[in-house]
Structure 1
Amino acid sequence: MLGSANFSNRSIQVNRHDDRNRERFTVAHEIGHFFLEHDKYLRSESIVERDLFIETETKDAFNYDRLEYQANLFGSMLLLPEAQFRHAVKVLRRQLNVNDRGFGYIFVDDQPCNYTPYNQILTALSDHFGASKRAIEIRLKRAGLVTDMRGTGSANRLRFPGV
């Protein structure tokens, strides 16, 4: 368990973790539960690692995963504010000479020439915002800033636009 929220005494507990950035996200996530008034549905909430990877909101009337998705989105927006995040990505793309060559603002596949700068972007953003690389990656995807073709074998099928 990474952390928990106790709604009756309005407290958050975060368990020590090897990754300080993960701890920061856990706090932001738990604050999200309070801010979003999830105490209407829960007495307490414990976050486990699998909860951090919920990226889609389901349509069910009540679904625990939906509350987790909302808290994850809140935590992401708290730690990675839209304008600052986009600006930092823009600056890093320029510094690392990552250009849109018709495949996406940031393109990543299994080739080192694409994966290496992508990993450098993740690392730099993680350090800058104090968020895990996984949180950064999810935020990039959610913002539509990355085209991720890793593991698809698509590098051999890609063609340059207009060719």
Structure 2
Amino acid sequence: MNEKNLLGRVDFESNEIFIYKNDVEDEKRDRFTLAHEISHIILGHGRYLDKDSLEESDLADLDVLDNSMVAKLEFQANYLAGCLLVPEKQLVKEFLKIYSELGLVRRGIFWVYLDNQSGNKLTANNIISKLARYFNVSKSVIRIRLIGFGLLHDARIKVI
């Protein structure tokens, strides 16, 4: 574990959470790290881990999961952190408000379709950016939550 890249850690014995500051001040990352570590406690991951730490590299692809037990626990904590920071009802309400303000009309089965076309990228990024600011989270958290609720289809993601 590279201590320089350490974002947060939970001690399951004491239920203490430690958030580490580095050279870059990032409130969104700190909020997500705290929600992630709280999620480990809520989910009872202390039964499987002595201590958990979140490194900066763990945030790169929040939706990528391999078959290892630790990766599954991290995926669960990331998912719950997203739920805590971006509640479904509030997300859908704000999404529909922004969608209407932008004068968008749903065509077909997708609310927002994201591929490599500049117009689709611009629309998706506009919505995602507005929601990320509203919820004070990263665009990655918003993108994953929108995909999860079927509000965004990202055709750039290859399904295996």
Taking a change above 3 Å as real, the CA distance of residues 64 and 5 of structure 1, as seen in their structure-2 partners, is same
Query: What is the aligned counterpart of 2:34 among 2, 19, 27?
Result: 27
The amino acid that maps onto 2:114 is V
CA distance in 2 between partners of 1:151 and 1:131 (Å): 21
Query: What is the aligned counterpart of 2:9 among 4, 17, 29?
Result: 4
Aligned length in residues: 150
The amino acid that maps onto 1:114 is N
RMSD: 2.1
* Structure 1: unaligned runs, 5 residues or longer: 153-163
Contact 2:35/2:85, CA 8 A, preserved across alignment: yes
The structure 1 segments of at least 4 consecutive aligned residues displaced by more than 3 Å after TM superposition are: none
Contact 1:7/1:34, CA 8 A, preserved across alignment: yes
State the 1:75 CA deviation.
Answer: 0.4
Residue pairs, 1:3-152, within 5 angstroms? 3-16=8-21, 17-52=24-59, 53-55=61-63, 63-102=69-108, 104-150=110-156
Aligned residue for 1:110, secondary structure, equals coil
**Higher-Rg member (1/2):** 1
Identity within the alignment, %: 35
Contact 2:7/2:53, CA 8 A, preserved across alignment: yes
> What corresponds to 1:156 in structure 2?
none
> What corresponds to 1:161 in structure 2?
none
Q: TM-score, normalised by structure 2?
A: 0.84
Q: TM-score, normalised by structure 1?
A: 0.83
CA distance in 2 between partners of 1:95 and 1:83 (Å): 18
CA distance in 2 between partners of 1:69 and 1:33 (Å): 10
